[in-house]
Structure 1
Amino acid sequence: MEISFIGAGNLAWHLAPALENAGHHINEVYSRQLQHARQLVSNLYDAHTHSELNFADSPSKLFILSIPDDALEQVCSQLVLPEDAILVHTAGARTLASLEQWMAIYSDVPVQTGVFYPLQTFSKGQSFMVFDEIPLCIESGDSVTEEILVQLGQDISDIVYIITSEERRALHVAAVFACNFTNHLLTLAHDLTVQDGLDFDLLRPIIGETFRKGLAASDPADVQTGPARRGDLTTIDTHLAYLSNQPKLSEIYQLLTQSIQHQYRQ
């Protein structure tokens, strides 16, 4: 399939090469920051940068919006596509209906719409990720486009689901808890060790075992440990005393402790 990317950030950095390696052709990469488009194009076989949002003469059939959620409508309002192109967004929290509405308002030609959402965390500049085991969540308002997107997904991943906007929103919220919040807690743990002159590497074994057990369990609640889980109020009070001069961390500690206690309340 002939494909163009609108956006050259974290996701595009990994998705564009994956699609090329599966036999698809990336024609163009657009980014507000041209240097970002050039960096991505340098990793592709035969793509070139596109300096504007007018793709009327593009040979591409599929256009992938890989941009921040809050920029989607503004970009759509300026986007010019070939007739009967397929436009998809890759956002976890934006509905398909919003993209359909924007195209109905802003596009002068018929455009098919859909969602192509990889459920994974991506960082630009890292080694290209293998998509084989990355879940791809597909949505479209018409069966032909849906079939095209499902096939595209199956070309790069073994895990492809047709999921509604409401289901995708739930997955996205869950992913924020599992990924973003978890990583932030690791950051706080790092900062706590560093401030007392300790090596964060001391925590790596317990972090690794925690993730191993949680992922192996059918329900992570079954392998929860710690003072909140066992009702150890003395230890909790000791920890809060240690955090007494760090009110934000103390608040987070108390909130999570209360959540665990509520989870296991008999």
Structure 2
Amino acid sequence: MNNRNPASLRIGLLGAGRVASQLGPALAAAGHQVVFVWNRTVPAAKTLAAQLPGTQALTTLASPLPLADVYLLAVPDAAVASLLASTPWPAGGLVAHLAGALSLAVFASQPTVHGGVFYPLQTFSPGRAVDWSTVPLCIEATDSAAEATLLALARSLSQHVRLLSSAQRLKLHVAAVFANNFTNHLLGIADALLTEANLPAALLAPLVRETVDKALANPPFAVQTGPAVRRDAPTLAAHQAALAAHPAWKALYEQLTASIQTQL
């Protein structure tokens, strides 16, 4: 592991999916050299590598791997352990996964490498560029040298870098699922209901923006509004009746209503 100037860190990028396809260019723009890109789907690795200056696409992870200061595992959580076990890492190499819910303990089976976590708290979608300077980057490592390298790398990309334990990061990841994934799902339900009524989705935009702005400026439970808070039984019943054609959504409505009322 080489703690050189972070502007010249050599990066091995394993993965070419949603995160890697945005992280690779960001690393290059920050002055790092992405030495190689590997992906289980070779064309995807070649496509990403072609966007990065001086980067080769690896078709296999054969020994010896190209030397890098940091090997970043931008792969699905479930693939990290098997990738760690099957890859011929150079002794003393720094390997970091990008998973929110995966403990640092996954590196226990690889005593010859320095292990770490480089978790970007953001949602990544094709066609939507991410401003990495605003993305919280959560760091954890098996030792102080690995921690220092990952912190330097993170600070070269983002203004929001934190050291978090595995337990803290897991809670953060659960919170992120509620704030992002579940919220998006609920917005999808709202959009479908508007479509059924031949109403434009844009009708909800001012309400959604105000809701998010208010929740970010205050403790969200303290500014909860709506018929559940008011215990408005006639309105709640009318809503449930309107959802009769969607029993799963009706059940979700009832569960969320009950959850809101337990916070009163």
TM-score category of the 2 structures, normalised to the smaller one = over 0.9
Asked if the contact 2:65/2:88 (under 8 Å) is kept, the reply is no
Letter of the structure 1 residue corresponding to residue 198 of structure 2: G
Q: Provide the secondary structure at the position in 2 that maps to 1:234.
A: helix
- Residue equivalent to 1:124: 126
Equivalent pair of 2:104/2:166 in contact (CA under 8 Å): yes
TM-score, normalised via structure 1 length: 0.93
Separation in structure 2 between the aligned mates of residue 55 and residue 179 of structure 1, nearest angstrom: 40
Q: Alignment partner of 2:52: what SS?
A: coil
Name the amino acid aligned to 1:87. V
Q: Residue 38 in 1 paired to residue 46 in 2?
A: yes
State how far apart, in whole Å, the 1-side matches of 2:257 and 2:49 are.
Answer: 47
CA distance in 1, matches of 2:244, 2:60: 54
Alignment CA distance shift 1:111-1:3 (3 Å): same
Query: 1:55, CA displacement in angstroms?
Result: 5.2
Q: Give the alignment's TM-score, normalised by structure 2.
A: 0.93
Work out whether 1:230 is the aligned partner of 2:230. yes
- Distance 1:232-1:96 versus aligned 2 partners, 3 A rule: same
Equivalence for 2:150:
149
1:179 equivalenced with 2:151 (yes/no):
no
Determine the structure 2 residue equivalent to 1:77.
Answer: 85
Unaligned 5+ segments in structure 2 are 1-8
Distance in 1 (CA, whole Å) between partners of 2:48 and 2:229 is: 47
* Structure 1 residue 103 corresponds to structure 2 residue 110: yes
Following TM superposition, the consecutive aligned residue runs of length 4 or more in structure 1 with deviations greater than 4 angstroms are none
Of 33-42 and 1-10, deviating more is: 33-42
Q: Deviations over 1:178-215 (max 9, x none)?
A: 00000000011111111222211111121111112112
The amino acid that maps onto 2:116 is G
Q: Percent of aligned positions with the same letter in both sequences?
A: 40
Pairing 1:247–2:231 present: no
RMSD: 1.3
The amino acid of 2:252's aligned partner reads I
Q: 1:227 is aligned with what amino acid?
A: P
Select the residue among 53, 57, 74 that pairs with 2:61: 53
SS in 2 for 1:80: coil
Question: Does 2:17 match 1:9?
Answer: yes
* SS of structure 2 residue aligned to 1:156: coil
Count of matched residue pairs: 256
User: Residue 213 of structure 2 aligns with which residue?
Assistant: 212
* Whole-angstrom CA distance in 1 between matches of 2:198 and 2:127: 31
